[in-house]
Structure 1
Amino acid sequence: MEIRPIHNEHDYKEARRIVSTLVDADPAPGTPDGDRLEVLTILIDRYEVEHFPLGLPDPVDAIKFRMEQAGLSASDMQPYLGNLDRVNEVLNRKRGLSLAMIRRLHRELKISAEVLIA
């Protein structure tokens, strides 16, 4: 099993091509091809993290995503954002988040403070 680090775009594309072929073959874990697939996947992931970093999501999008995940309505957000008018202003991007709102959303809904501050 010859596996090399991924140093550039060419190496990256070649590793992805090999992984695609291996995924189609569906090798069993612990076999030579299974091990090769696992190692290449780790190398590709590391390359992507270094070369294609993801930015933080928009704070309002993060709130809406959490609401969808938890099945929350705008009225359910009142304990975190204030009265229903204020909730709608925040969700419609007409009002920014206050520090108190950020703290409550982070503490109660487990939304990253880093995302909310952005």
Structure 2
Amino acid sequence: MINVQPVITKTDHKLALKRIETLMDKGNKTRFDEIELETLFVLVSNYEEKHIQIFPPDPIDAILFRMEQQGLTQGDIAKILGSKQRASEYLNKKIPLSIEAIRKLNDSLGISGDILIQKYTTKG
């Protein structure tokens, strides 16, 4: 038997996440476990869409993260952007990303343009 409650409050959300974790860790899931897990995912997702605001990452942090994921160096970014100096200026937040840099980084690294166009504070 499946015992699923609506996720309306923070407490409901916390309990649902705990139950999801328990079900995910369970070895031999029954069909009822699978249905409960899927239902909880939907309920938690709906709650989070309405109540938890997720801000897009800082563009430079997103680039640095992707560099780490792919084992890239600043030199690799310089090749994408066409200049070691420009790559350094962008990665050290001395200047904002240009539209051309955003296009190149989007094409080469697959970082969403929505992330790359976000405003961020420069040090220059």
Normalising by structure 2, what TM-score? Answer: 0.78
The alignment status of 1:64 with 2:70, answered yes or no, reads: no
Q: How does 1:7-18 map to 2 (within 5 A)?
A: 7-18=8-19
The alignment status of 1:105 with 2:101, answered yes or no, reads: no
Runs of 4+ in 1 over 6 A off after TM superposition: none
What secondary structure does 1:5 align onto?
coil
Deviates more, 1:38-47 or 1:59-68: 38-47
Change (3 A) 1:44 1:85: same
The amino acid of 2:12's aligned partner reads: D
- Separation of aligned partners in 1, 2:12 and 2:19: 11
CA deviations on 1:52-101 (whole Å, 9 max, x unpaired) are: 12110111011111111222111111233331111111111111111110
Q: How far did residue 106 of structure 1 move?
A: 0.8
Runs of 5+ in structure 2 lacking a partner?
119-124
- Separation of aligned partners in 1, 2:36 and 2:49: 20
Provide the identity percentage: 39
Runs of 5+ in structure 1 lacking a partner?
none
| Partner of residue 37, structure 2 | 37
| Partner of residue 54, structure 1 | 54
RMSD: 2.1
State the aligned residue count.
117
Q: How far did residue 20 of structure 1 move?
A: 4.4
